[in-house]
């Protein structure tokens, strides 16, 4: 079981959670340590019958009525309070199966506690609004208000690159709203989801309101799409899979956080002392495997040499390697195949005339942080989502042209602009077609309280507990006519 890589006591159950019971399932699949490549666990994939059973139990739970809001909030607050007791187990699991560095794993846990507390807050203030009937002739005697009710069974299909906090951005608001949840974690990182389920059950979540189904998207994910009792799908992943889910959902509601090519623009008046560390960390930490990682970096021609030199110097301080080493800042990619793919993209860019100013060397699943210039327009490092620790610099002179180029992708998740000019900042906010535009921040800055979501092929709907809870409820209008 790879005990030398992951303490046996840190291993959560490796089957399916249905109605509070852990079950074995169908074929076993291997979870590998992302740095060494050695196996750390064998996990049972859900069977078709278990998928149906999980949804059936979840539907009966929500049909029977959820616990009142105060009790739901108490469960979520207890879960947040349990995080310190579970911290080392979460760290051990995420370092092994996700390749997180120790710092990044601890950061994920800290944010998860915030997400739980925010969701508890929203459970207590899920209210409607009064309708101003006096605005319509002849309707002034009427009184009306809206109420919000659970939408039903929420299916959460979650990614490998934030296997704790992104999961909670789906599960916690869904339960805060009174829904039951069927969770399918990424097959790359199933253990973190299982450990979280253990924590939530200990915190008092009613067993029927949470199921965990392990397995691949092509099997378990497809079976979940066949279950008509699922009322809402919330998904973080590729645009390709998002389209499949949306097509299967039909008139059922969804929230999609999909692909991205994130851009950040650095103007001539930018404070580089502040900007460079933010940009380097946003593009290279977590091995660049964040949907908002800075990939396209537009730098004004007047500061190009200075900014490039500083970026290369900062990238050199981001040691890549074993995530268990406290000095490591950039851990492995999620698989050796992903690292080989990123390496091939860099070599292709070089052959097309690009210059790699630093990094780009591969050892198994680790890629050293790369800074690239002169990438060709049609090259993969410029035109496709890299999901790897690489930054591509492109100079600009015309700010409007830089914004047009940033807009010129199918995606629109997040963008950043560094400038001291308020008029330029407001122009960016009006022009950049992204779900989030950050001024004097990178595309990758995120606070868990904020609304988060994209436009175009980056999806639709919002995460962030206050916003997700509205997505996961039905609004009902009540009118009295004396």
Torsion of CA 165, 8, 83, 290, to 10 degrees: -20
Please tell me the distance from the alpha carbon of residue 380 to that of residue 344, in angstroms, as a whole number: 10
Q: Which residues contact 422 (CB under 8 A, 6 or more apart)?
A: none
Per the annotation, the verdict on 257 as an active-site residue is: yes
Q: Is-catalytic flag, 383?
A: no
The one catalytic residue among 291, 358, 441, 471? 291
Measured between alpha carbons, how far is 120 from 81 in angstroms, rounded to an integer? 12
- For residues 424 and 267, the answer to whether their CB atoms sit within 8 Å is yes
- Angle, CA of 244, 250 and 256, to the nearest 5°: 55
Q: Which of 257, 385, 463, 471 is catalytic?
A: 257
Catalytic residues: 257, 291
């Amino acid at each position: 079981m790879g005990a030398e890589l992951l303490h046996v006591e840190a291993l959560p159950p490796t089957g399916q959670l249905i109605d509070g019971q852990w079950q074995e399932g169908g074929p076993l699949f291997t979870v590998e340590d992302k740095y060494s490549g050695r196996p750390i666990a064998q996990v049972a994939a859900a069977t078709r019958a278990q998928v149906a059973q999980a949804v059936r139990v979840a539907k009966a739970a929500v049909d029977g009525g959820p616990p009142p809001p105060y009790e739901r909030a108490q469960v979520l607050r207890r879960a947040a309070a349990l995080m310190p007791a579970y911290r080392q187990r979460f760290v051990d699991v995420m370092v092994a199966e996700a390749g997180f560095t120790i710092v990044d794993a601890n950061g994920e846990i800290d944010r998860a506690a915030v997400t739980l507390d925010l969701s508890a807050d929203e459970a207590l203030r899920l209210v409607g609004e009064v309708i101003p009937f006096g605005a319509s002739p002849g309707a002034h005697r009427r009184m009306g208000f809206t109420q919000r009710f659970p939408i039903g069974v929420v299916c959460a299909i979650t990614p490998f690159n934030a296997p704790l906090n992104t999961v909670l951005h789906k599960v916690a608001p869904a339960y805060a709203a009174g829904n039951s949840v069927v969770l399918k974690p990424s097959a790359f990182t199933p253990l973190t989801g299982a450990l979280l389920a253990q924590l939530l059950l200990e915190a008092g979540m009613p067993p029927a309101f949470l199921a965990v189904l392990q397995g691949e998207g092509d099997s378990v994910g497809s079976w979940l799409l066949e279950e008509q009792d699922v009322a809402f799908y919330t998904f973080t992943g590729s645009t390709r899979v998002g389209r499949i889910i949306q097509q299967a959902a039909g008139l059922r509601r969804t929230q999609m956080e999909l692909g991205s090519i994130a851009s950040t623009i650095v103007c001539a008046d930018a404070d580089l002392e502040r900007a460079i560390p933010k940009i380097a960390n946003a593009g290279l930490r977590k091995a660049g495997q964040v949907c908002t990682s800075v990939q396209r970096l537009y730098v004004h021609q007047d500061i190009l040499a200075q900014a490039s030199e500083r970026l290369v110097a900062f990238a050199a301080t981001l040691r890549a390697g074993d995530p268990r080493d406290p000095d490591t800042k950039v851990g492995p990619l999620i698989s050796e195949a992903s690292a080989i793919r990123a390496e091939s993209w860099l070599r292709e860019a070089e052959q097309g005339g690009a210059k790699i100013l630093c990094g780009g060397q591969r050892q198994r699943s680790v890629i050293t942080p790369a800074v690239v210039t002169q990438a060709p327009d049609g090259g993969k490092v410029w035109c496709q989502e890299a999901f790897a620790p690489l930054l591509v610099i492109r100079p600009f002179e015309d700010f409007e042209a830089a914004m047009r180029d940033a807009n010129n992708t199918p995606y629109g998740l997040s963008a950043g602009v560094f400038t001291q000019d308020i008029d330029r900042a407001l122009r960016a906010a009006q022009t950049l077609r992204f779900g989030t535009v950050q001024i004097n921040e990178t595309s990758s800055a995120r606070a868990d309280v904020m609304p988060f979501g994209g436009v175009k092929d980056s999806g639709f709907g919002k995460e962030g507990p206050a916003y997700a809870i509205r997505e996961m409820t039905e609004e009902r209008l009540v009118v009295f006519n004396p």
